[in-house]
Amino acid sequence: MPGIRFRAALALFFVATGAAMAQQYDPGASDTEIRLGQTMPFSGPVSVAGAVGYASLAYFDAVNKAGGINGRRIRLLSLDDGYSPPKTVEATRRLVEDDNVLMIYGSVGTPTNAAVEKYLNLKKVPQLFITTGGSRFRDPKSSPWTMAFLPGYVAEGRAMARYVLETVAAPKIAVLYQNDDLGKDFRTGFRSGLGDRADSLIVSEQTFEVADPTVDSQVLAAKASGANVFYFAGTQKAGAEQIKSRHNLGWTPLHLVCSIASGVEGVLRPAGLENSEGLISTAYAKDPFDPTWADDADVKTFLGWVKENLAQGNPRDTGVVGGYIVSFLAAYVLEKAGSTLTRENILNIATHLDHLPAPMLLPGITVTTTPTDYGVITRFQIQRFESGRWVPIGKAISGE
């Protein structure tokens, strides 16, 4: 009898061990469900960027309707932080400690993501494909659990400066940037692109706070400096304001705006499309409402998805495309993880993407990551706003 009991116990041990090897779960994962989290500015001064969250929710609603991922339903918890770092901290702690999400993905904002970066890395919770291009989120040695999605702000700023040097014979440059990590990264890259001539070429350099009611005084000072080039680096609300202000002053410099402030619906239309004529910026994704892509298979699929699934938000906001792409990447990683739904495995897959052709990216741009290089998207397209649409200038480039 003791031998029979031993053999039975041994058999149960091997059954249990086999099941454990086949299915490994961290908090947020089970046989039937995967819980994901993100924070979004659904309210506050950058609420237009909440479109990323609306698209994310719609994406996984569609995934669930189609049967989920590997038979598991995806439960996405998208919380409003109002683009306020203290609220981001509160919401993120709730997601990790109360809701037990498997990972955070797609969260919007440089200062907001920075506020929880250390916490998530200490907890070893993946903070993946976050909607920022801040340089601090490209440091796998210091923050191995954090990965930004957008092209680097420093690289973009550098490319814009090089464009100025190539197109303006005697540039006198005014710079207006948001006084946080986002604006400072763009500024750093722009000055780097000007090289040793930065101090002599920049005749005006000013800042603003994201909650400032207007930037009229800064734009007026920029014009008064005698600049013939004006570079703006900030978020959407101030982006629209500075375009209107510059137009109202009758000032006609070469006007460059960072990619964050280039959305037609969220920035240029509120500023006035006629006032935005001639702007220079960058892009990494297709504009689904640009006739250029009318016959593009990616765009047709996207527009069909929008029509069927997007219940909230303006489908023309650039954030919808961004939310769609980061959600595709999150879903791709989860699908590849199979039944090994551990945070470590999620991170391992996310850091070994090899020229992945994510939907809606411009031609020549793919997603590649390695454990030592977290640059998800490293190429972008310089473009000019003409007759109500963005027109590409040259080929996709890297600002590295």
Instruction: Give first-to-last CA distance, the chain, whole Å.
Output: 72
pLDDT tens column, 304-321? 999 999 999 899 999 999
Q: 3-state DSSP call for residue 101?
A: coil
- Is-contact 186 242, C-beta < 8 A? no
Q: Binning pLDDT at 50, 70 and 90, where does residue 93 land? A: very high
* Residue-wise pLDDT tens digits, 319-356: 999 999 999 999 999 999 999 999 999 999 999 999 99
DSSP per-residue string spanning 257-321: E-GGG--IIIIIHHH-GGGGTT-EEEESB--TTSGGGTT-HHHHHHHHHHHHH--SS-TTSHHHH
Q: What is the average pLDDT across 114-132?
A: 98
**Averaged over 343-370, what is the pLDDT?**
96
Is residue 258 within 8 A of residue 281, CB to CB? The reply is: yes
